[in-house]
Structure formats: C-alpha cells, structure tokens
Amino acid sequence: MSDVTTEFVEGFGGAKLAVHRTGDTGARPLVLLHGLFSSAEVNWIKFGNAKILADAGFDVIMPDLRAHGQSDGPHDPAAYPADVLVRDLKAVIDAHGLSDYDLGGFSLGSRTAVRGVLAGLAPRRLVLGGMGLTGLSGWARRSAHFVDAIDRFGSIERGDKAFVAQAFMKTMKIDRVAARLLLGSVDDTSPGAIAQVTMPTLCVSGADDHDNGSAPELAAALPDGTYVETPGNHMSSVTFKDMGRAIAAFLV
C-alpha cells in the first residue's frame, strides 16, 4: 500500500480543499467523508481504517470538509450556501474524473453523502457510518446542539451535554466562526426522501452510538439497506478497525 498523499482541489467559490489519498491509484475509487469537527486524518487514517480499505484493493480518497482539517474555512457567509458540502463533494469527484466509484461517510459525512445522492450523485455502493434515520430527518435539532456548544465555548463545564463537543473542538483547533457558518448550510433530509437512495447501502454504527438515532431503523427504511454493528460509541467507533473491516466486507 502506498503512503497517504495530500493534494488540493478547488471547491465552491474557490475554497481550497485538502484531499488525502492512499492505496493504488489504479484501484477502485472510494470517497470517504469525515464527521463534524473531525478530519480525514482523525476519522479514517489515524486508527488504521483507511489502510484496511487500501489493502482491500481501494483507491481511498478522503477530503477534509471546508472549515475542517487542512481545507479552507472562509468567514464570508456567502461561502456557505445550502448544501455547500455537496457542491464541494461534486468538485472533488469531478477533479478526480470519477464516474464508477463508491461513496461513504461518517456522521456529517454520512449526511453529506445522502444529500449528494439526492442531488444526483450515483455511487455504485454507499456507506453511512454513525447515522440513524432521525439523524437525517432531525438535523435541525442536532445542529442547534453544536451551535450552542460554539456559542458557549470556553464556559461549558463537565457534566453539561455540550462538554464533549467543546472538548473535541479544542482538540481539533476548530475555527468556530467557519464551523458555525457551515452548520447553517446543512438541512434536514425527510424520511420520504430516503426512498430515493436506491443503491446498496451499508449502515455501520457503534453498538453504543445513539447520537444520530437508530442505524438499524435507517437500514430498514432504505430500499437496499444493510446494518452492521461495530464496537464503540459516536466518538470511539472510528478508533476500532472493525469499522474498516465492515466497510471492506460490504464493498468487496
């Protein structure tokens, strides 16, 4: 397996997007999107899941979402129209000339992948990590939780429901102005719209991950959904190699 390389492509409005890549560039492309306040490094690379997928025969393409990782986080509200992450995802796919590929995400990355499919993307197979049905349809409530954590940043004490989000933002050195703007660009996805996601879809989630609702419920609502349980909660499930193995088994 090759090492991880990083390149930059132009996203919506000219924003510079970091794209990390590992595996054989002649292999089957797999685009993976990370979660909120995270990065491709933390979600996919650091704990070995990207390596598992590269070793399984995939060209693993992992962008940092805008306002995350090494990608730009502009402070201009005009840089965050509705579904801007979908526009960026399309830019990454176009920049790599992908037509036959698989697509996956975790948490916010899963939401973005679903929104991308509803906007016309057609991956062969789809992977939704750390996501349940209410996590898609009830995003406004979930988003409000994170906006609250941003607005009260630095004053949230242990035991507060926003404490974990504050701690993760500190660890990841999140640009809170950009992150808050980004949160406003993501919308709910109705349960009815899920019927339009017709490709085979894996819903993989930690056994103790209930942050975004029920992953089995999401799998049941999809026309061709499969649920696989792995260890961990919403924060820890990406640290277990079981997630990479489950994705590889589904895609190969």
| Per-residue pLDDT reduced to its tens digit, 64-113 | 999 999 999 999 999 999 999 999 999 999 999 999 999 999 999 999 99
Give the pLDDT score at 139. 87
CA 217 – CA 127 distance, rounded (Å) = 15
Tell me the pTM: 0.97
Contact 97, 59 (CB under 8 A): no
Amino acid at 173: K
CA 213/CA 220 separation, integer angstroms:
13
Q: Are 17 and 72 in contact (CB under 8 A)?
A: yes
Integer CA distances (angstroms), 62 to 9, 39, 43, 101, 167, in order? 12, 9, 10, 13, 24
SS3 assignment, position 152: coil
For 154-171, the pLDDT digits (tens) are 999 999 999 999 999 999
How confident is the chain (252 residues) per 10-residue block, as mean pLDDT?
88 98 96 98 98 98 98 98 98 97 98 97 98 92 94 97 96 97 94 94 98 96 98 97 98 94
- Domains contained in the chain, CATH given: 5-251 (3.40.50.1820)
Sequence-distant (6+) residues with CB within 8 A of 214 are: 132, 133, 134
Backbone angles phi, psi at 101, to 5 degrees: -155, 170
The span from the CA of 58 to the CA of 50, in Å, is 9
pLDDT of residue 1: 42
Q: Is 161 helix (H, G, I), strand (E, B) or coil?
A: coil
